[in-house]
Every structure is written in structure tokens, then in C-alpha cells.
């Protein structure tokens, strides 16, 4: 697989190349024929009711932690958390969540935020002083998404079995 050198005109440092490959796989690996619309496995994973959104959110959280390890500041990390939370919450909505995943691309947005930190000097400062609270927030959101996913699956089951 060829290395990803740039994203939206921003050069990707070697330390972020692996993350960039995963981001591309999640958000823009495939192209809809005859259009410029790209999508990754994010909306495909999301097709699994409940569990898909949980898996997608987990992958996004792992990518976020990897970007923090590369020196992202607290400010940029907060923006990243907002991106993956929006993606996770809207992703819970059947059908609309899949369409949203195709266009929102939270992981790509987060990679661009990280590159702005490196290339343009935006969002300066280490995130390590707030890593534990961030992980606590991510864990809480992960649990809440899990609970919401459970109720979505129960509702779908009840709807299709007539137990409503």
C-alpha cells in the first residue's frame, strides 16, 4: 500500500503515516462510481445494529489516543472528542447515521486537526495533563453509546417480532 503523503494539502509526518492509513480505511477508502463521494468502512461497520456504532466509536477513540501520543494539545483533543461524539450519536440513528458517516468523516477531521497542530502551530501544548479526564469522558460516552445501542436493538427486535 503506498504511503499517504498529504491530506488536504497538509503533509503527514512519518509518525502519523500508520494513523493516516487507518483513517483512510475508515473514512475514504472507496469511491462511489461516477462521483467524487468517498466512504470507508465506517458506514459499513455501522450497518450492524447497535454493535457497529460501538465498534466504530472504539476505533475512533483508539485513533484519538494515538494522535494524543503524537503530541496533540488539550484544545485539539477536546475538538476531536466532539467530532467522534457527534459521529457516534448521529450514527445511532438508523439509515440517517450511515449517510452522515459518508459525509462527516470524523476520523479525517481529527487527523487534519492533528496536522494543523504540527504544520501550522495551532492547538499548541501537550495533552498529557488531561489524558485521564479525556479517557474517563471517552469511557463514559462509550458506556452511554452501549446502553443506547442495547435499546435500539431491543426496539428493532420488538418491532419485527410484534412484541411492541
pLDDT digits (tens, 9 = 90+) for 126-150: 555 556 676 787 788 888 888 988 9
Residue 76 resides in a domain: yes
Question: How many domains does the structure of the chain reveal?
Answer: 1
- Other Cβ atoms less than 10 A from the Cβ of 139: the count is 11
Written as one string, the DSSP assignment of 84-118 is: HHHHHHHHTSTTHHHHHHHHH-HHHHHHHHHHHHH
What is the C-alpha to C-alpha distance for residues 70 and 64, in angstroms, rounded to an integer? 10
Residue 130 resides in a domain: yes
Q: Of 10-24, 35-49, 50-64, which one has max mean pLDDT? A: 35-49
Residue 3 has pLDDT above 70, yes or no: no
Q: What is the mean pLDDT of residues 86-115?
A: 87
> Greater confidence, 89 or 122?
89
Residue 30 confidence class, pLDDT cut points 50, 70, 90: very high
Residue 89 resides in a domain: yes
Contact 85, 123 (CB under 8 A): no
Residue 72 resides in a domain: yes
What is the C-alpha to C-alpha distance for residues 80 and 58, in angstroms, rounded to an integer? 13
Residue 97 resides in a domain: yes
Residue 39 resides in a domain: yes
Mean per-residue pLDDT over the chain, rounded: 81
Residue 1 resides in a domain: no
Residue 77 resides in a domain: yes
CB contact set of 51 (below 8 Å; sequence gap of 6+) = 149, 153
Range of the domain at 113: 6-161
Amino acid at each position: 500500500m503506498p504511503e499517504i503523503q498529504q491530506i488536504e494539502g497538509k503533509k503527514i509526518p512519518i509518525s502519523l503515516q500508520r494513523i493516516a492509513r487507518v483513517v483512510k480505511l475508515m473514512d475514504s477508502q472507496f469511491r462511489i462510481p461516477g462521483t467524487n463521494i468517498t466512504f470507508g468502512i465506517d458506514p459499513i461497520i455501522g450497518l450492524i445494529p447497535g454493535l457497529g456504532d460501538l465498534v466504530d466509536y472504539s476505533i475512533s477513540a483508539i485513533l484519538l489516543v494515538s494522535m494524543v501520543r503524537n503530541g496533540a494539545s488539550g484544545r485539539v483533543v477536546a475538538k476531536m472528542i466532539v467530532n467522534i461524539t457527534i459521529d457516534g450519536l448521529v450514527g445511532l440513528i438508523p439509515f440517517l447515521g450511515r449517510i452522515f458517516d459518508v459525509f462527516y468523516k470524523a476520523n479525517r477531521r481529527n487527523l487534519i486537526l492533528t496536522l494543523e497542530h504540527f504544520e501550522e502551530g495551532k492547538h499548541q501544548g501537550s495533552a498529557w495533563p488531561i489524558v485521564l479526564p479525556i479517557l474517563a469522558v471517552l469511557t463514559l460516552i462509550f458506556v452511554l453509546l452501549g446502553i443506547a445501542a442495547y435499546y435500539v436493538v431491543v426496539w428493532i427486535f420488538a418491532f419485527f417480532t410484534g412484541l411492541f
